Amino acid sequence: MTDTKTLTNAPMLAIRHASKTFGLGTPNAHVALKDLSLTLMPGDFVTVLGSNGAGKSTLFNAICGNFYLDHGTIELGGKDITYDKPHKRALSIGRLFQDPMKGTAPNLTIEENLALSYSKQTRTSFSFALRKEDREMFRERLSVFGMDLENRMKVKIGLLSGGQRQVVTLLMSTLVPPKILLLDEHTAALDPSTAENVMDITKQIVRQNHITTMMITHNMHQALVTGNRTIMLDEGSIILDFPEEKRGGMTVEDLVDLFSKRKKEEFANDKMLLS
């Protein structure tokens, strides 16, 4: 008999000792991930901070299977996906990029893009064919965003504004709720007002569907008030990890101060090892 409690308490994502070096054995070798371990429980919404080159997008690429790890394992929904191909992982992973055009076919209409995404999840082959019930479902799902997209379903994606494209892409990624949703600075290219609207819609979709989510952002304030956990990467490792109870009342200044102290500690330890 299956233990329901055990399943409920099982991680949705479990990364163990992930390491990746690009250009290994060459003068240009770059350590992108360094013995990184991370566990997300179902429904966790983790914001990810770090400077350029810290390993944020590399971490997402590892989860999506864009390369294989040198060492370590990745489990998603209790299944080892360490060596699964990207197209196989894509059935369980939703991802949005900073560029609203990524992940969509700009010369296809809104409803065609939605149909392709939906058929990928629910049928054995891709299809442009729209059943009446699918079209009605798309209209209903679009209408809640208050952007009049439900009345523009025959408009090509490439003719939409950046915010509209990103909302459609978000819906495409969550029509069938994925096991994990990866948001790679998905509001960074939008103007402040549109970015706030897209962020509100994102939170709404994640909350309603209880989707386990990771979001990369350079906005430290946003990272501290979004989701239930914040991690900070540096040189391919997680150097700070704040659950919700530790983030309460934390300011951006507190976060910067903690980062500075951690870097000083690492420098001191490295100096001792060299000595």
Q: What are phi and psi of 51, to 5 degrees?
A: -70, 170
Residues 6+ apart with CB under 8 A from 78: 7, 10, 11
- Contact assessment for residue 74 and residue 63, using Cβ atoms and an 8 Å cutoff: yes
C-alpha to C-alpha distance for 189 and 24, rounded to whole angstroms = 33
Enumerate the β-bridge partners of residue 16. 73
Residues 6+ apart with CB under 8 A from 133: none
The one-digit pLDDT tens for each residue of the chain (275 residues) are: 333 333 458 999 999 999 999 998 899 999 999 999 999 999 999 999 999 999 999 999 999 999 999 999 999 999 999 999 999 999 999 999 998 888 889 999 999 999 988 887 765 555 556 788 889 999 999 998 889 999 999 999 999 999 999 999 999 999 999 999 999 999 998 999 999 999 999 999 999 999 999 999 999 999 999 999 999 999 999 999 999 888 888 999 999 898 888 876 664 454 433 33
